[in-house]
Chains A and B, each alone.
Chain A
C-alpha cells in the first residue's frame, strides 16, 4: 500500500477541483433553479410579534386574490400540520415543547408561521399573504436569558417552568480539588458568546413533487443532510421511507444552518402530497435572517484555579445557553458538543460543568460552524490569558506549562476524552516563528513605552477540538437519536470507470475531488475516471451527511475500506484469468500481477469488463466488482493548532485593525492541501467575523434588529487581511487514513485569538474584557469603563 501511494500520489496533492468547471460557467443546479410544470408557490404569513396570542386568522382575503389556489392556517391544515422534530433530548427530563409547522395558539418568535398561501406564481403568493387577516393579542416578550430564568418571568411555553428546557451536569469535585491548595489563585469571568446568523450565501429553497415511481415523492432541498432528513420527514409526516426521495442539488453553503429539518420542508412535502402537484418555496434573505436557525448565544460563567507558580488545578463552567423559542433538530445538544472541550489542551485535576438550556422569544439556535466548540474554546482561551495576567506570566509560557506534551499522548483529559495524538509544541514553535513573535512583543513594549495612541496586542489561541462526528455508542450515551457512521459503495463500471457512492453531502467542500483522490490512489485508477455520487437518496441511499468536520474523518474511512474491498472482490476473477492462486497475486497501480512473473498481469479495467460480460468467471463468483463499507469511527478526531493575531487598537477611538494573522493547524494527513487551506481560510473569516463584526441583536420587544445583510455584517473582502497559514502533520492513530477534521478548525480557533489580542493591547489601561463584536463602540466603552474604574 505504501509503495502504491507513493507511486501514484494523488493523495497529498493540491489537485484543482472537479467541481469548478460547472460552478464557474454557471451550469449549476441550485434548488431555486428547478421549475416543474404545474408548480404551486408557497408564501408564508410570519408573525411580526415575538410573543402574542393569535385571536383571529381569516384567509378569505388571500383566497380571493388572483392566481391563489389555496391557503391554510393551523386549524385548516389539520393532521398535515406536523411537528418540527428535535432528536436530541439531552436529559431524561428535557422539556420539549410542541413545535407545529403552522402555529395555532401563540406566536413565540418574530418569524413564527401562522398561515400559508399557495399560488401559481411566486409573486402572486407573496402579494396574497398581506391579505391574510391575523389578529394578535400581544404578550410580554422574553428576550434576555437572565431575565427568562428569574422567578415570575413570563413563560415562552407554559410547560417549561422558569423557561428552562434542561439542566445538564458533567464532572465535579472542583471545590474539593481547589481546597487542597490553600494558596490557589482563582480567576472568574463572565463571557458573552453572542448570537450569530449562519448567513450561507444561497438562501434556502425547497420543492417537492409527487412524481416518480408509483407512490414516490421527491423533495429537492438546499440541505446538508438529505439522508438524515429523509428519516426525519418520514417520522414526522408518516410518508413511508421507501416512497420518499430526498435530493440536495447544488447547495450554496451551510455552516450548520442547513443541518436541519425545517418547517418549510415539512409543509412543502405535505402540501405536494395533499394536492398532488409540485409545491415550491424559496426564502428571501430577510426571511432567512429570522427563519433559519441561529448559532452560539451563551452566557459563560467560568472559573479557573491555579497554583501561584502557574499550574492549573481545576476549572468550573456554568452556562446559560439560549435555545430560542423552540427546540430544533439538535438545539439542546449544541452546548454539550462544547462541554468536553473546556479543559482543551490543558492538564488539571478537576472539571465541573453545568449548562442550563433557556427558552426565549427568539429564533431557535442550533448548529453553526463549530457548534459548541467555538464557545468552549473562546471561554478557555480567554480565561487562560486572564489567569496569565493575574499570575504575571507571559501567556504563551503559561500555556506551555500546562498543556499536554507530545510524548504524553494518547492522553485522557479531565473531561474524559482520550486524545490520540498531537504536538502542540511543534505547531506553536512554527506559528511563533512565522509570526515573528519576539519582534512583535518588542514592538508592543516600545509602543507602550512611548505612549503611542495605537497600541499593539498579541492574541494567542492554542486550541484543539473534537470533531469527526462521531462514534455511535458515544452519541447514544449522550441521548442523541442517531448514529455517527458513514457509508461508501464503489462500483467498477463495464468500461473500467468507477462510480463512488458516498453518504457525505458536500456543499462547497470539494468532496468530488478529494474522494476521487483517495479511491484513485487505492485502486490505481486516474482521478478523472472516478465519479463521486452524492446527496440524492435515490442514488446514494445510505449516509449520515456532512457536518461536524466528519466527511473525511468518518466518510474517508468508509472510502478506504470500500476500495480495499473492491480489490479483494476482484482478486478471484484476476486469479481465474491469470490461472494462478489468488494468494499468488499482488495488486499495485491498478493491476494484479503474478508474484515473480511481471508479464502475467491484468488491470482492474479489464476485470471490470470480464465481470460485466461474465463469460469466463470462476464458479460461484458473481458478475459484479464492487466494494461496500459502513464505518463507525473508533473515536472523535482531535485536530489542533496555534493561532496568533497582531491587533492594532486605536486607544482614542476604539477602532481595531487586524494587522497580521498566522495559524499553524495540525489536521493529520492531508488528502488535498489546497482544500485544507481553503477550509481554514473560510473558518478564519467566520471566527474573525464573530470577534469583530457579527452579532444578532434583538430589542426588548424581541424584534431582530439585524434582520438583513445591510444590518448583520458578515465580513467583506475589504474587512479582512490575507492570512498566513501553515501546517504540522501528526497523523491520527484512530482513523485509518491518519486524517483529522478541518472544516471547523478556523472558526473555532480564531475568535479568542482576536479578542485576546485586543485585550492584550489594552491591558495596561486596565481593560480585562471586550464584548463581541469588538466594534469601535464596544472597544471604546471597554476603555472608558477601565478608565472609570481606575479613576
Chain B
C-alpha cells in the first residue's frame, strides 16, 4: 500500500492505496465520487475525464499513486451546490446530452478545451473532443454547447 495525499473538489484526502489502483477507481470506490464514470478499459471513451492540476486527464489512465500531491476537479466539484459552471449551463441550454453517461467526461474536456482556446472553431472543437465518445447525441449539440459556453465565458467567435 502507498500513502497518498490528494485534493479532490476542494477537500484534501489522505489514503493508503494499492499501487495498481486506478485514479478513477479510487475516486469512485474510495471517495464515493461516483459522478465520474468508467466507460471502457482501453482509454478510448473519455467518460472518466477529470482535471488534474487544471488539465484534463482520463482518470483510467492515471494511477492513484501518480495523483499524490495533486489537485483533482471532477464534475462534482466544477460548480458549488446548485450553481452552474458556464459549460454545464451550455450543455443544458443546447441539449448537449441525452443519457448523460459521457457527460461528466465531455464537460471536463470541454472546460479544458476552452481554457486553452477560448474561441474555438467548430473544427477545433470536434478535434479537441475526439477523445470523448458519445453514443446518443451525434455530437451536433455537444459542438453547439461548447460554442455557446465560449460565448457565455466571453469568447467572441
Which residue numbers of A lie inside 8 Å of B, CB to CB? Answer: 16-17, 19-21, 23-28, 30, 32-33, 35, 199-203, 250-253, 255, 284-286, 507-510, 674-675, 677-678, 681-686, 708-710, 714-720, 722-723, 746
Contact = CB atoms under 8 A, between A and B. Distances in A.
11 contacts: A16-B92, A20-B100, A26-B36, A201-B47, A201-B101, A508-B98, A683-B138, A685-B138, A709-B44, A709-B133, A718-B130
B121 interface: no
Nearest to B140: A681
A109 to B, nearest CB: 20
B41 A285 contact: yes
Contacts of B107: 24
B35 A25 contact: yes
Contacts of B131: 716
A30 B37 contact: yes
Contact of B100 (A28, A33, A710): A28
A269 B101 CA distance: 25
Contacts of A253: 98-99, 101, 135-136
Interface in B108-157: 122, 125-127, 129-143
The 7 residue pairs across chains A and B that have the minimum distance between CB atoms = A26-B35, A252-B101, A508-B99, A23-B100, A685-B138, A508-B98, A681-B138
B79 A25 contact: yes
Contact of A20 (B42, B78, B91): B91
Secondary structure at the B interface, as helix, strand, loop or mixed, is loop
A684 B138 contact: yes
A21 to B, nearest CB: 7
A681 B129 contact: no
B99 A717 contact: no
Contacts of A685: 135, 137-139
A202 B98 contact: no
Given A681-B140, A709-B133, A24 B44 contact: no
B129 A717 contact: yes
A249 to B, nearest CB: 11
Nearest to B93: A16
A20 B104 contact: no
A509 B126 contact: no
Contacts of A509: 98
A164 to B, nearest CB: 34
A718 B88 contact: no
A715 to B, nearest CB: 8
B75 interface: yes
Contacts of A719: 130
Contacts of A17: 92, 95
Interface in B7-29: 28-29
A203 B136 CA distance: 14
Nearest to A711: B42
Contacts of A510: 98
A717 B135 contact: no
Given A16-B92, A20-B97, A285 B42 contact: yes
Contacts of A723: 138, 140
Contacts of A35: 29
A269 to B, nearest CB: 23
B45 A508 contact: no
B38 interface: yes
Nearest to A683: B138
Interface in B50-89: 74-76, 78-79, 82, 84, 88
Given A20-B91, A253-B136, A717 B98 contact: no
A28 B35 contact: yes
B49 interface: no
B53 to A, nearest CB: 20
B101 A285 contact: no
A719 B95 CA distance: 20
Contacts of A722: 122, 140, 143
A202 B127 contact: no
A199 to B, nearest CB: 6
Contacts of A255: 135
Contacts of B4: none
Given A201-B102, A682-B138, A723-B140, A24 B41 contact: no
Contact of B98 (A32, A682, A720): A682
Given A286-B41, A720-B126, A746-B138, 18 more contacts: A16-B93, A19-B100, A20-B92, A25-B82, A26-B35, A26-B36, A30-B37, A200-B135, A285-B40, A677-B95, A681-B139, A682-B135, A708-B44, A716-B129, A716-B130, A716-B139, A717-B125, A717-B126
A26 B38 contact: no
A717 B142 contact: yes
Question: Considering residues B76, B84, B102, B137, which has the most beta carbons from chain A within 10 angstroms of its beta carbon?
Answer: B137
A21 B92 contact: yes
A341 B82 CA distance: 48
Interface residues of B, number: 55
B140 A201 contact: no
Contacts of A682: 98, 135-138
A176 B33 CA distance: 68
A686 B142 CA distance: 16
Contacts of B35: 25-28
Contacts of A717: 125-127, 129-130, 132, 134, 139, 142-143
B45 A24 contact: no
Given A26-B104, A510-B98, A199 B132 contact: no
Given A202-B39, A253-B101, A33 B34 contact: yes
Contact of A23 (B97, B133, B137): B97
B91 A24 contact: yes
Nearest to B83: A25
Contact of B133 (A25, A201, A286, A508): A201
A24 B34 contact: no
A20 B137 CA distance: 14
Given A25-B88, A508-B99, A718-B127, A202 B37 contact: yes
A507 to B, nearest CB: 6
Contacts of B143: 717, 722
Given A508-B136, A717-B129, A709 B75 contact: no
A202 B40 contact: no
Contacts of A675: 95
Nearest to B74: A26
B138 A26 contact: no
Contact of A203 (B38, B140, B142): B38
Contacts of B142: 717
Given A202-B37, A252-B99, A508-B99, A709 B42 contact: yes
Contacts of A27: 35, 76
B133 A716 contact: yes
B88 A24 contact: yes
Nearest to A16: B92
A710 B71 CA distance: 29
Nearest to A718: B130
B56 to A, nearest CB: 15
A508 B100 contact: yes
A674 B136 contact: no
B102 to A, nearest CB: 5
B112 to A, nearest CB: 15
A717 B106 CA distance: 11
Contacts of B92: 16-17, 20-21, 24
B129 to A, nearest CB: 5
Nearest to A288: B40
B41 A199 contact: no
B84 to A, nearest CB: 8
Contacts of A674: 95
B141 A201 contact: no
Q: Which of A30, A35, A284, A723 has the most CB of B within 10 A?
A: A30
A742 to B, nearest CB: 13
A25 B97 CA distance: 12
B45 A709 contact: yes
Contacts of A23: 97, 100, 103
A27 B100 CA distance: 11
A618 to B, nearest CB: 44
Contacts of B132: 716-717
